[in-house]
Amino acid sequence: MNLDTKSLPSGTILDSGETKYRIVEVLGSGGFGITYLAMGTIQVKNVTTEARFAIKELFPSDFCEREGIGVVPKIDKVEDFERSRKDFISEARKLHSLGVGNDNIVKVNEVFEANGTAYYVMQYINGESLSAYVKKRGPLPYNEAIELLTPIFDAVEYLHKSRINHLDIKPDNIMLHKSIDGIVPVLIDFGLSVHFKKNGDKTSPKGVQGVSPGYSPLEQYAGIREFSPQSDIYSLAATLLFVLTGKTPQSASEIKIANVKEQLKKVVPERALDGLCKALNKSSDDRTSSISLFKADLGITPDGGTRTQVLTGDNSSSKKYMRPMIYALGGIVVAAGIILGVSKCNGPSNKDDIPAPGILTDSLKVEEDSVNVNQEYIAPSQPEIVSDKKEEIVEPQKPTEEKKETAKEDKKDTKKEENKEKPLSDKDKTKQPSPGNSSDPVSASSTPVKTSGSVSLGYGTYKGEMKNGKPDGKGRISYTSSHAAARGTSVMADPGDYLDGLFANGQLVSGKLYDSSGNLKKTIIP
């Protein structure tokens, strides 16, 4: 169904020279373009089939008119239309190169000119916008909001490394694509994006400027003239605010930090709330200066989880970071966390649902500079120490004076033995009898004991939980040379990359590959 008479009618055929596309319906329309759902024929080996695509057509309504299926510039707007055409094609080519390197940026397949205007063909997003999702579900809990948006934070950080400002980040421009791996958030609509050279100049004289009230920073109303990560960071913070409240934020000139803190103090950890508010500062000079700092302020760990346990209630102490309590509980719940991770490694059973954040593992993450990274995941197991003494169970009776003295002496001896029992070092562990040896005083079972340690892989080093000398449980591979990230996948790891994953009998079950700076490169499920 067409939105208006300016759009192409259903059934229109667009020929790119490589593929013929049939327009199905209008997906959306703005001041500078119209996006359609289209069907195109593709060849997969010996099979020819139809696939869905999204096609964006350049149609700046202030500069042109529709004649049949063609587009013609208005008499006094020829130069404006031509400038828009150059910007549009530049945007398409830029998206084509960016999408190859990041799964959370919309993919562009090809760009072509026809009917007096230009088009580019994108992946069809099978899902809904973040705006529609939140309006349907209501405000999201902090941990779930962070898990949903962290891939978008990483995508924008990827853009910033190429000195690109998106300048139109908002819930309507984040689509939740339903794939075989679950829900993938995808950043779309680069119509306002600008690429800056190292000397500060734009790579093209961008003719399109615009703002989105509630999501654009104050300086954008005057026009962005130089590369500014702070501008996109404001928009990301405003988007997070929407996800947490279900309401469009006030415009940059009206928003009050005190009101934001009052509104979210019971649902957002104190440090994270301070980080969110810093990113919403009216002045870009006082705002968070980089995505990496923004993520750190929000408590986002390298794997996309949070290092904070979020609690609500009237007790103000429950709003603080619970790090001391986390350390105390870590040894108790880490085994449960590993079991939970194994049970969830294949993803949610219902792919229409957004995966909820890990309850145990995510809430127990701590800063890498305060504890060795492997200690975040691994609780080294010790061989069970069995005492030669056995307690005799007898019926309760009134103890004699002699029995009382004997009990006191036994108690003292037991304490002495307990004081002598210390955790074994890795060197001492290797001297212990093997679990399958019948002479082993620990166990006559053949079940291998899981320990922690490290092993050289040739192309890198594994450090983490092990069994029978093989990775088994949670651990990390640090790569020293280029190599396939795991058996059964074509994903390549570069020197300096590392992979945090869950292993079983030496094989990767699931994991996340990061570059040397801690940026997520790929989620891997062989």
Q: Is 518 found in the same domain as 459?
A: yes
Residue 127, both tokens: 């899902």
User: For the domain that residue 49 is a member of, what is the CATH number?
Assistant: 3.30.200.20
Torsion of CA 142, 148, 152, 153, to 10 degrees: 30
Least trusted range by pLDDT, from 25-29, 368-372, 392-396, 512-516: 368-372
Q: What is the pLDDT of residues 117-151, one digit of tens each?
A: 999 999 898 889 999 999 999 999 999 999 999 99
CB-based contacts of 421: which residues, under 8 Å, 6+ apart?
385
* 496 is a domain residue: yes
Number of domains present in the structure of the chain: 3
pLDDT at 509: 78
Q: Is residue 368 part of a domain?
A: no
102 in the same domain as 21:
yes
Domain stop point among 123, 147, 180: 123
Q: Is residue 23 part of a domain?
A: yes
Question: Does 116 or 440 have the greater pLDDT score?
Answer: 116
Q: Are 102 and 201 found together in one domain? A: no
Binned at pLDDT 50, 70 and 90, residue 375 comes out as very low
Confidence of residue 35 (pLDDT cuts 50, 70, 90): very high
Q: What is the average pLDDT value for the chain, to the nearest integer?
A: 76
pLDDT for res 112: 94
Q: Which two tokens stand for residue 271?
A: 């440090």
Alpha-carbon distance 500 to 197, whole Å?
A: 35
Q: 134 and 119, same structural domain? A: no
Residue pLDDT, tens place only, 91-110 = 888 888 887 788 899 989 89
pLDDT at 23: 96
What is the C-alpha to C-alpha distance for residues 241 and 238, in angstroms, rounded to an integer?
Answer: 5
Which of 42-56, 234-248, 473-487 has the highest mean predicted lDDT (pLDDT)? 234-248
User: Does residue 492 sit within a domain?
Assistant: yes
Q: Confirm whether 81 is domain-assigned.
A: yes
Q: Is the pLDDT of residue 285 over 70?
A: yes
User: Would you tell me how many other CB atoms lie within 10 Å of the CB of residue 408?
Assistant: 10
Tell whether the model's pLDDT for residue 321 goes beyond 60: no
Dist CA 517 CA 511 (whole Å): 17
| 100 and 172 share one domain | no
Residues 189, 292, single domain; the answer is: yes
Asked whether the whole model's pTM tops 0.75, one would answer no
Residues 117 and 203 in one domain: no
Instruction: Please check whether residue 203 is in contact with residue 170, taking contact to mean a CB–CB distance below 8 angstroms.
Output: no
Q: Are residues 156 and 112 in the same domain?
A: no
Question: pLDDT tens-digit profile of 356-372?
Answer: 333 223 332 333 333 33
Q: How many angstroms separate the first and last alpha carbons of the chain? A: 41
- What is the mean predicted confidence (pLDDT) over 164-183? 90
Residue 116 lies inside a defined structural domain of this protein: yes
For residues 95 and 69, state if they share a domain: yes
Q: What pLDDT is stored for residue 204 in this prediction? A: 60
List C-alpha distances in Å: 307 to 187, 361, 394, 491. Answer: 25, 9, 49, 28
pLDDT band (50, 70, 90) for residue 171: very high
Task: Output DSSP code: residue 366.
Answer: -
pLDDT of residue 166: 93
**pLDDT higher than 50, residue 515:** yes
Residue 141 confidence (pLDDT): 95
Handedness of CA 183, 184, 185, 186 (dihedral sign): negative
Residue of 179 and 221 predicted with greater confidence: 221
Residues 116 and 138 in one domain: no
Identify the domain boundary among 289, 319, 349.
319
CA-CA distance, 417 to 425, in Å (whole number)?
Answer: 19
Inside any domain, residue 356:
no
Q: Are 472 and 505 in contact (CB under 8 A)?
A: yes
Q: What is the CATH number of the domain that holds 227?
A: 1.10.510.10
Checking if the pLDDT of 385 tops 50, the result is no
Q: Packing angle between helix 229-245 and helix 257-264, nearest 10 degrees? A: 40
Quickly list DSSP for 300-355.
Answer: B-TTS-BS-----SS-GGGGS--HHHHHHHHHHHHHHHHHHHHHHTT--S-TTSPP
Phi-psi region of 167 (alpha: psi -120 to 50; beta: other; left: phi over 0): left
3-state DSSP call for residue 155? helix
Q: Which domain, by its residues, includes 514?
A: 451-524
pLDDT exceeding 90 applies to what percent of the chain? 40
Q: Is the pLDDT of residue 331 over 70?
A: no
Kindly state whether residue 479 falls inside one of the protein's structural domains: yes
Same-domain check for residues 18 and 94: yes
Could you tell me which of 193, 207, 203 has the C-alpha nearest to residue 160?
Answer: 193
Q: Which of 99, 123, 147 is the last residue of a domain?
A: 123
Pair (285, 160) in one structural domain: yes
Give 446-455 pLDDT, tens digit per residue. Answer: 445 778 888 8
Greater confidence (31 vs 63) lies with: 63
Q: Which of 49, 72, 45, 53 is nearest to 61 (CA)?
A: 72
Find where tokens 């990390």 sit. Answer: 476
